Amino acid sequence: MTTNKQVLLASRPNGWVQASDFRIVETPVPSPGPGQMLIKIHWLSLDPYMRGRMSSGKSYANPVEIGDVMVGGTVGEVVGSSHGRFKVGDFVVGSLGWQQYAVSNGEGLLRVDPKLVPPQAYLGVAGMPGATAWTGLLEHCQPRTGETVVVSAATGAVGGVVGQLAKMQGCRAVGIAGGKVKCDYAVQELGFDACVDYKAGGLYEDLKAACPDGIDCYFENVGGVVMDTVLRLLNPFSRMALCGMISDYNSVEPYGVTNIRSILVNRVRIQGFIVSDRMDLYMRAIQQLGVWVSQGRIRYRETVAVGLDAAPAAFIGMLKGANLGKQLVRVG
């Protein structure tokens, strides 16, 4: 190993991300100093939040600077270390970016057990997206037995866990996803009670039929017309965990939601949240989800791009719904 392939942010997108917004370079593999370690990255996570980091607008986190390595969650193996707590052979999860190697002093890194679940699961079902599902559903929606829980982007990294946790809570779990293949997967493999294809043309009618008792908890991942439609079906004193609004991430103009009045009439409680705000829940969630995944109680799928050269296209594809389950890059 002599070179470190890296994907840099080349330009800020205006609207949809383009492959030309990224630049791939090769630099020398960095050398760890005293108290540091060198990590060989095996897996990179591709997540919707990265679209926000490509822009300079106000957000909950700082943008990536032009020319910097793209931000991203990673799982890697320690290949050189003079660190007190991490030794060669350890697997670590953290945010080391779109590159093959990184040097770290250990800050923000978590040692994980690759024998409990496959290492890349710590980027998905037993990692940040799983913890997001847990926090939004259990802390902010607080569903009760017998209630109806609806989640959008239902077959994605977050949504797939939301539906399965809702079933564990004794709820009716209804997904919203793009296309028959995804909806069949939600029902047949993930155990959702129903799944509505929002691309089929009858979202309101189909969702109404899938939720005969209305909607008590809505886990919002997409915003836009899907959110507007769900608002019409919310029950009195329902809860909405506002997790993401991916339909707007590449828009120049945000979607104008029209059914706001439902929030008043139905006394809806809406909580926007960022998973990292509650690290106590995060740690509890990934620990429990890891065990449940190892026991086969939580199921998941992955869409894998091979090599960092494939990362920009895979990222753009994920934003457009090309992924089924967690979108990953096998780095090396």
Question: Tokens 């760890």 identify what position?
Answer: 32
Q: Compose the 157-196 pattern: x for residues touching ligand NAP by CB under 6 A, - for all others.
A: xxx-----------------xx---x--------------
Distance CA 326, CA 129 (A): 9
Applying the rule CB under 6 A, the residues between 24 and 63 that interact with ligand NAP are 47-49
Distance CA 204, CA 185 (A): 21
In angstroms, the Cα distances linking 237 to 67, 134, 207, 263 are 48, 21, 19, 9
Q: Compose the 120-159 pattern: x for residues touching ligand NAP by CB under 6 A, - for all others.
A: ---------x--x--------------------x--xxxx
- Is residue 323 close enough to count as binding ligand NAP by CB under 6 A? yes
Which span (84-92, 187-195, 218-226, 308-316) binds ligand NAP, by CB under 6 A? 218-226
Least Å distance, CB 291 to ligand NAP, is 21
Which span (33-41, 113-121, 165-173, 317-325) binds ligand NAP, by CB under 6 A? 317-325
Kindly tell me which residue out of 244, 292, 298, 302 binds ligand NAP, with binding defined by CB under 6 A: 244
Give the DSSP H or E segment for 304.
strand 302-306
- Is residue 222 close enough to count as binding ligand NAP by CB under 6 A? yes
Nearer to ligand NAP, 81 or 132 (CB): 132
Yes or no: say if 332 and 100 are a contact pair by the CB < 8 Å rule: yes
Beta strand pairing status for 326-330 and 37-45? antiparallel
Nearer to ligand NAP, 171 or 176 (CB): 176
Least Å distance, CB 176 to ligand NAP, is 7
Which span (64-72, 81-89, 91-99, 220-228) binds ligand NAP, by CB under 6 A? 220-228
Phi, psi of 174 (to 5 degrees): -120, 125
- Is residue 247 close enough to count as binding ligand NAP by CB under 6 A? yes
Q: Report which of 264, 216, 263 is spatially closest to residue 238, judged by C-alpha positions.
A: 216
- Is residue 314 close enough to count as binding ligand NAP by CB under 6 A? no
Applying the rule CB under 6 A, the residues between 269 and 308 that interact with ligand NAP are 273-275
In angstroms, the Cα distances linking 104 to 80, 100, 215, 247, 254 are 11, 13, 46, 35, 38
CA 46-248-321 angle, to 5 degrees, is 45
Burial call 174-194: b when 16+ CB within 10 Å, e when fewer: bbbbbeeebbebbbeebebbb
Provide the 3-class DSSP secondary structure of residue 83. coil
Nearer to ligand NAP, 36 or 327 (CB): 327
- Is residue 243 close enough to count as binding ligand NAP by CB under 6 A? yes
Q: Name the residues that contact ligand NAP, by CB under 6 A.
A: 47-49, 129, 132, 153, 156-159, 177-178, 182, 221-222, 224, 226, 243-244, 246-247, 273-275, 318, 321, 323, 327
